[in-house]
């Protein structure tokens, strides 16, 4: 990484930007090696620990974890903190490699998401009360065991640890999802994350691979959603009769038609527009997104196009045929009459996996190389005999199709569509996911969806007080087994700390600043905007960039540094800041770092 960028911003703002960059490096390395500070003191212990046979190490690590997990849950005031600590212990003791740590962290996030209680108002169906019961807690035991098994298999049989982990974690998820209705609402958050991953992967093909800035992603999302609604509407509350309503429609047929429709609209829009330069595309797609919303709002039967969308009231009471065949094994059953949150999650997850797989394959194929060439320099790409319009259209159409799929899934799950669901924020949200994760990187999209869609949902309920309180309970009541009196006595001391901690989550804090709760969306959009600007200044390649994009950014920075170095010596004084050459489109030079092979 070229951290020495300080030489090409020769002013105070540049210094500020660079200090931000350096701070980022410091934070990054601090996270990467948690033991750095205490290492000198603990070095012998750590050495000994590391030199143990990995199998033995994992077993040792499992002991306290399982102990924590087996203690009665009712005694803890906060199961979220409880599970966090359980997983944290495993992480700390079992710290095997950075990759494992990352995988386990994701597992931890999944667990916490899963444990979160979602207020019942959010759901159109399901019971009102959701006491924590067996579902997620079973996961707490299953996951560490699954990972330990994966690791053991890796050591003994030489299997791919990461792959095994992924398979086992995914395989153990449905156990929690299928166990009883109480696990159901919590999976809604999982569904949201998976859904954002799906949308992000769709936009990633357009923005990340082909470099076309599409700000009207919501248009295809809306087309898919409305198409699905119109084809499956059973009945609507008012005087609106769906023109195409097919009762008992087959989920898959409707979805495929909706996706096809969205893709064709995308291609039809793309044919004229993709001949233009990139920044026009941004505006046209933005305008197109608005047009679709305006049409959806106005096509209410009082004029030209007839009643297509029921205007601002939208289409409600949409039949939601279940995509899955009915299987009932008592404890585990899918395929009921209505689609459940866990089924929606699985459906979305499978779609996202398929999309991710296909787009990875495409990226490594002739198509992907053509996209990359177009992204880096369209004129050169054309000169090399690439039919740029054709490939851009392909990317745009793919993005539109995936957006349509997202809209179809959303409608099938929420059983209502209104124009208000398809505001510009949807496009910006997805764009932020792609850009923050790292354009052109499937991993990055997953990361971005977790950060932007998952973590705010988790943080909604987690407060500092709940974490500390839960941790203390566990520490004093469970780690001094047999002596609960001593534990309580010890706890009396620090208990005032807990009482004095603010018991407010992020929205609560926002409330304290005088921001009403209903402004959550505005606050969110504002922070997204800020995040986009900061990302562009500090780390334009994203958190987890594709290797090629990373190399591209580095190369530009190096060139800029060189250029600025030369220029600074050349134009001094009157000319002010050195003037760079035409670096907006870096010249491709074979053999440079940009063309190194993908290492994934």
Q: Which residues of this protein are in contact with another protein, per CB under 8 A?
A: 9, 13-14, 17, 207, 211, 213, 215, 272-273, 275-276, 278-280, 282-284, 286-288, 290-291, 294-295, 297-298, 302-304, 428, 431, 435, 514-516, 518-519, 522-523, 525-526, 528-533, 535-537, 540, 552, 556, 560, 563, 571, 574-577, 579-586
Nearer to another protein, 72 or 514 (CB): 514
3-state percent breakdown (helix, strand, coil) of the chain, nearest 5: 70, 0, 30
Min dist. Cβ of residue 301 to another protein (A): 10
Min dist. Cβ of residue 586 to another protein (A): 7
Task: Report d(CA 112, CA 5) in Å as an integer.
Answer: 39
Task: Report d(CA 296, CA 232) in Å as an integer.
Answer: 17
Nearer to another protein, 272 or 330 (CB): 272
Task: Report d(CA 89, CA 92) in Å as an integer.
Answer: 5
Min dist. Cβ of residue 70 to another protein (A): 47
Nearer to another protein, 340 or 441 (CB): 441
Nearer to another protein, 497 or 579 (CB): 579
Min dist. Cβ of residue 182 to another protein (A): 36
User: Which H or E run includes 272?
Assistant: helix 251-273
Nearer to another protein, 483 or 527 (CB): 527
Min dist. Cβ of residue 435 to another protein (A): 6
Q: Cβ(151)–Cβ(161) under 8 Å?
A: yes
Min dist. Cβ of residue 449 to another protein (A): 18
Q: Cβ(120)–Cβ(126) under 8 Å?
A: yes
Task: Report d(CA 475, CA 82) in Å as an integer.
Answer: 10
Task: Report d(CA 536, CA 83) in Å as an integer.
Answer: 36
Q: Which residue has the tokens 């943080």?
A: 459
Min dist. Cβ of residue 421 to another protein (A): 18
Nearer to another protein, 220 or 346 (CB): 220
Min dist. Cβ of residue 534 to another protein (A): 8
Indicate the pairing of strand 333-334 with strand 327-328: antiparallel
Contacts of 161 (CB under 8 A, 6+ apart): 99, 100, 150, 151, 154
Nearer to another protein, 515 or 593 (CB): 515
User: Which H or E run includes 334?
Assistant: strand 333-334
Closest by alpha carbon to 551, among 587, 585, 593, 599?
A: 593
Nearer to another protein, 329 or 574 (CB): 574
């Amino acid at each position: 990484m070229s951290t020495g960028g300080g030489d090409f911003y020769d002013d105070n703002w540049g210094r500020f930007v660079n200090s931000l960059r350096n701070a980022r490096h410091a934070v990054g390395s601090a996270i990467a090696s948690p033991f750095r500070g205490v290492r000198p003191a603990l070095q012998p212990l750590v050495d000994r620990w590391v030199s143990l046979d990995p199998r033995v190490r994992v077993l040792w690590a499992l002991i306290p974890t399982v102990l924590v997990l087996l203690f009665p849950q009712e005694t803890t005031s906060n199961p979220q903190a409880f599970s966090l600590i359980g997983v944290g212990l495993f992480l700390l003791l079992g710290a095997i490699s950075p990759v494992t740590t990352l995988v386990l962290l994701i597992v931890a996030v999944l667990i916490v998401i899963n444990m979160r209680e979602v207020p019942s108002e959010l759901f159109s169906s399901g019971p009102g009360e959701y006491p924590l019961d067996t579902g997620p807690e079973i996961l707490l035991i299953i996951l560490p065991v699954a990972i330990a098994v994966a690791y053991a298999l890796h050591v003994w049989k030489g299997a791919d640890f990461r792959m095994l982990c992924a398979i086992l974690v995914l395989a153990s998820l449905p156990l929690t999802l299928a166990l009883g209705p109480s696990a159901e609402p919590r999976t809604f958050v999982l569904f949201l994350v998976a859904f954002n991953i799906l949308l992000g992967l769709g936009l990633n093909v357009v923005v990340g691979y082909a470099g076309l800035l599409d700000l009207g992603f919501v248009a295809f999302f809306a087309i898919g959603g409305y198409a699905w609604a119109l084809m499956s509407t059973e009945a609507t509350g008012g005087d609106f009769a769906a023109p195409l309503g097919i009762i008992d429609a087959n989920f898959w047929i409707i979805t495929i038609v909706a996706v096809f429709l969205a893709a064709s609209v995308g291609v039809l829009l793309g044919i004229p527009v993709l001949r233009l330069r990139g920044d026009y595309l941004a505006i046209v797609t933005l305008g197109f997104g608005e047009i679709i919303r305006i049409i959806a709002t106005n096509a209410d039967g009082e004029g030209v196009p007839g009643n297509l969308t029921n205007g601002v009231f939208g289409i409600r009471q949409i039949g939601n045929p279940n995509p899955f065949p009915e299987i009932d094994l008592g404890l585990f059953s899918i395929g009921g009459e209505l689609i459940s949150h866990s089924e929606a999650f699985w459906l979305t997850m499978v779609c996202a996996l398929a999309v991710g797989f296909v787009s990875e394959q495409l990226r490594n194929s002739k198509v992907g190389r053509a996209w990359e060439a177009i992204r880096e320099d369209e004129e050169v790409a054309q000169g090399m005999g690439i039919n740029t319009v054709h490939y851009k259209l392909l990317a745009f159409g793919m993005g539109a199709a995936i957006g349509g799929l997202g809209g179809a899934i959303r409608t099938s799950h929420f059983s209502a569509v209104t124009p208000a669901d398809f505001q510009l924020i949807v496009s910006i949200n997805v764009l932020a996911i792609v850009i923050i994760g790292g354009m052109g990187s499937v991993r990055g999209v997953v990361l971005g969806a977790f950060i932007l869609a998952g973590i705010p949902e988790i943080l909604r309920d987690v407060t500092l007080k709940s974490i500390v309180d839960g941790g203390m309970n566990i520490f004093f009541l469970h780690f001094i087994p047999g002596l609960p009196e001593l534990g309580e006595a010890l706890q009396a001391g620090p208990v005032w700390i807990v009482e004095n901690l603010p018991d407010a989550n992020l929205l609560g804090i926002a409330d304290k600043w005088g921001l009403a709760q209903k402004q959550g969306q505005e606050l969110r959009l504002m922070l997204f905007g800020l995040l986009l600007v900061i990302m562009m200044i500090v780390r334009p390649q994203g958190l987890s960039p594709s290797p090629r994009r990373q190399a591209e950014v580095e190369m530009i920075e190096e060139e800029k540094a060189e250029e600025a170095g030369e220029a600074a010596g050349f134009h001094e004084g009157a000319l002010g800041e050195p003037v760079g050459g035409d670096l907006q489109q870096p010249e491709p030079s074979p053999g440079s770092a940009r063309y190194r092979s993908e290492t994934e």
